[in-house]
């Protein structure tokens, strides 16, 4: 998830190339329309400000990144078309696979955030949806076998058996260190 920079910038913001006030940000879980910033720090070697936010309504914590002049991270779908990366979608996919397993909203959100950060650090403005599915699989495999297998079967349905098998073959060849 990312927030566009404010159009009005003070000297300090110009120095850092980033927008001023943190924009009001909807809670990704309950959609409460404002959340509190509990921590801010620079990220991606100063190219972004990472803000830790907390929803006063449901207590959910999540992270946003503010960057200047950045296009949205786009996701290329297997069957054609593109859409902006949607952290909430990744979170709900993880939660669906993790039903009844010891992976809560907070953990799923952290996974989705680490995936977004990993994808952004590649510098690519567009990533294939299979890359996101694979990133989720890699992480679930480390923390919960059942959720991993469930996600793998959902992922298969989403992206076509051929792609899935190819990705799993790649995954098997690259053991997680």
Interaction site with Zn ion (CB under 5 A):
27, 29-30, 32, 55, 57-58, 60
Q: Decide whether 106 or 142 has the Cβ nearer to Zn ion.
A: 106
Q: What are phi and psi of 40, to 5 degrees?
A: -135, 140
Residue 93: alpha-carbon gap to chain centroid: 12
CB of 36 to Zn ion, least distance (A): 11
How far apart are the C-alpha atoms of 98 and 59, rounded to whole Å? 21
Largest CA distance in the chain: 53
CB of 109 to Zn ion, least distance (A): 11
CB of 96 to Zn ion, least distance (A): 19
CB of 56 to Zn ion, least distance (A): 8
Q: Decide whether 37 or 168 has the Cβ nearer to Zn ion.
A: 37
> Which of 8-39 are b and which e, b meaning 16 or more Cβ less than 10 Å from the residue's Cβ?
ebeeebeeeebbeebeebebbbeeeeebeeee
CB of 22 to Zn ion, least distance (A): 16
Helices (H), the chain: 11-16, 87-97, 105-121, 129-143, 145-159, 161-173
Q: Decide whether 55 or 119 has the Cβ nearer to Zn ion.
A: 55
Q: Decide whether 32 or 101 has the Cβ nearer to Zn ion.
A: 32
How far apart are the C-alpha atoms of 132 and 129, rounded to whole Å? 5
Q: Decide whether 30 or 170 has the Cβ nearer to Zn ion.
A: 30
């Amino acid at each position: 998830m990312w927030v566009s920079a404010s159009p009005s910038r003070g000297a300090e913001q110009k120095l850092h190339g980033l927008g001023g006030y943190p924009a009001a940000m909807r809670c990704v879980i309950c959609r409460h329309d404002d959340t509190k910033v509990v921590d801010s720090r620079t990220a991606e070697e100063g190219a972004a400000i990472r803000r830790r936010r907390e929803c006063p309504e449901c207590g959910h914590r999540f992270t946003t990144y503010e960057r200047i002049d950045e296009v949205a991270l786009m996701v290329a779908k297997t069957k054609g078309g593109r859409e902006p990366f949607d952290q909430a979608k990744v979170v709900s996919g993880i939660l669906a696979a993790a039903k009844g397993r010891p992976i809560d909203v907070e953990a799923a959100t952290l996974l989705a955030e680490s995936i977004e950060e990993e994808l952004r650090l590649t510098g690519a403005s567009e990533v294939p949806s299979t890359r996101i599915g694979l990133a989720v699989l890699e992480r679930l495999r480390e923390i919960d076998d059942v959720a991993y297998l469930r996600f793998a079967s959902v992922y298969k349905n989403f992206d076509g058996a051929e792609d899935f098998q190819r990705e799993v073959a790649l995954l098997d060849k690259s053991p997680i260190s």
